[in-house]
Chain A
Amino acid sequence: MEEKDLVLQHKEEDLYTLNLGPTHPATHGVFQNVLQMDGERILDSEPTIGYIHRAFEKLAEHRPFYQITPITDRLNYCSSPINNMGWHMTVERLLGVQTPKRVDYMRIIIMEMSRITDHLICNSVLGVDAGAFTGFLYVFQEREKIYEIFEEVCGARLTTNIGRIGGMERDFTPAAIKKIKEFIDRFPKVYEEFEKLFNRNRIFIDRTTGVGPITAERALEYGFTGPCLRAAGVDYDVRVAAPYSSYQDFDFEIPIGTTGDTYDRFRVRSEEIWQSYKLIKNAFENLPEGPFHADVPDIYLPPKDEVYNNMEALIYHFKIVMAELDVPKGEVYHAVEGGNGELGFYLVSDGGRTPYRLHFRRPCFIFYQAYPEMIRGGMLSDAILTMSSMNVIAGELDA
């Protein structure tokens, strides 16, 4: 008899209800699951979401385009730069702006760094949930260093609001370049050490294989994207399927798993970190010379000293800040490969200064609905691991 069949042989009075969340130390964020339990096995669960719903889609209908960037920070706050740049590229596509190669490469460096921070958090916290605290402390220092690079580029660490529509706000400073160089030299050793602690660790493997699996068919049916889909064996990655920001210039691989369980998700993320590292290294070594923003004076803010001394610049500055943009009517769907899947922006414009409708395709929101199915029949402690390996971020889930 299979272990899962035992679940069916229960008496009604033996069952009990357990509230996991909304605030529970083992779930990272505000998630509520009402579990039907038979002993330590989960019979059913009912997720409730929306605890940190902030009406982003309604808000976005009342804000000019450049003021929507800070909203996107707060979607998946573990990888804000990807969200910011995804939004910038959406608007650029609507307006028909071509960015110079240097901008594309700078964006790739920043986006891949933020993918690394995202995956570092997910993988190391998965370790913590499985009882291995040390790895978390090792790699969190590295995340801190990446945040220092973000700080050097845009002035903020977590909610970055990085870049502008049409390019970057400034070129990489010498300090930023030095920090990126240091990162490239230092990072492989750190992550190798982390992998040595986990990849072939008997306890970790026993703890994570077969936990929270999902087949490729079910994953597709549930609209999975990102590492969770790839762990199930489907090689779909937006960076390859619909390249943006010059990803087609680079040679990188899309790691895939086979069983879609927690261990596969861990390994797919691990491998993606190496691919991201490779991308950063390539982009940094081949960083083209040139301007750090497109030549679009009616969209991109002029430098401050020109605003004070040049009538033209002053006019542009005023028009941009007051959002007097010539926006074409139309609708654009633009997607980027976010930290945990395809982050899409569906922008409908009626020619006004704000979007007529903006819909965020949030990967977490779509695949988190498979969670009850993934944990059914498993142990409570496995449900915790499944959730952290899916990397569900409350900010993105509730928007």
Chain B
Amino acid sequence: MTSEHITERVKNQFGDGLVDAFETYGMLTLVIKPEINIEVLKFLKDESDLAFGFLKDECGIHYPFNKDEELGVIYLLHNLRANVQVRVKTFFPSDKPVIRSATSLWAAANWMERETYDFFGIKFEGHPDLRRILNVDDMDYFPMLKQYPLEDGTREDKDDKMFGRG
């Protein structure tokens, strides 16, 4: 199963739904439209020549300067039999951080989506139990968003100008 074959199959099925496809550090990455995320994942999972049956990882990412594509969800799928991995990315605006949940396809998505919600505030439609998982329940912000500094901004005893992003 080559990267071209996978890209071709997804392209034929979804047309414009596939925004971009490229290979980076040996891994095929598909960028798709957020509206069809479950359809694409289901297609990759159920088609017998693709059979990406194992959801290995799911996490969020935040690009505050990409207009209307600030937030993203990244899935990592693995076909264990053919030993091929594929990364699926989808981006959507941060003022409407809603995407459908993959829990209908994999039980493993449950906590990974809760973690993504906890860190980035991405709401997963159809998730059975979307609560914070690592942080306290009454936290009123989503800490992994880039606008939140690592430390309390009112502190004056630490100067982080030389290291890190401050």
Which residues in A have some Cβ–Cβ distance to B below 8 Å? 49-50, 53, 55, 57-59, 61-64, 93-94, 218, 220-223, 234, 236, 241-242, 322-323, 330-333, 342, 344, 346, 348, 352-354, 357, 359, 361, 365-366, 368-370, 398-399
Contact = CB atoms under 8 A, between A and B. Distances in A.
- The CB with the most chain B CB atoms within 10 A, among A63, A222, A241, A354, is that of A222
Given A50-B136, A354-B164, 7 more contacts: A62-B164, A93-B25, A241-B83, A322-B163, A333-B87, A344-B57, A357-B62
B91 interface: no
Contacts of A61: 150, 164-165
Given A220-B53, A221-B108, A241-B83, A330 B24 contact: yes
Contacts of B53: 220
A352 B166 CA distance: 13
B80 A223 contact: no
B61 A333 contact: no
Interface of B: 24-25, 27, 29, 53-57, 59, 61-62, 74, 76, 80, 83, 85, 87, 106-108, 110-112, 115, 119, 132-136, 143-144, 150, 160, 162-165
**Chain A interface mostly helix, strand, loop or mixed?**
mixed
Would you list the 8 A-B pairs with minimal beta carbon distance, nearest first? Answer: A223-B108, A50-B134, A62-B164, A53-B134, A359-B59, A369-B111, A361-B57, A62-B150
A352 B164 CA distance: 9
A242 B115 CA distance: 27
Nearest to A51: B134
A354 B166 CA distance: 11
A330 B25 contact: yes
Given A346-B59, A357-B61, A352 B134 contact: no
B144 A223 contact: no
23 contacts: A53-B135, A61-B150, A62-B160, A62-B163, A63-B163, A94-B25, A220-B53, A222-B107, A222-B108, A223-B107, A223-B112, A234-B80, A241-B80, A241-B83, A333-B25, A333-B57, A344-B56, A361-B57, A369-B108, A369-B111, A370-B107, A398-B134, A399-B134
B146 to A, nearest CB: 8
A323 B163 contact: yes
Given A53-B134, A361-B56, A331 B108 contact: no
A221 B111 contact: no
Nearest to B149: A62
A330 B27 CA distance: 11
A346 B74 contact: yes
Contacts of B144: 57-58
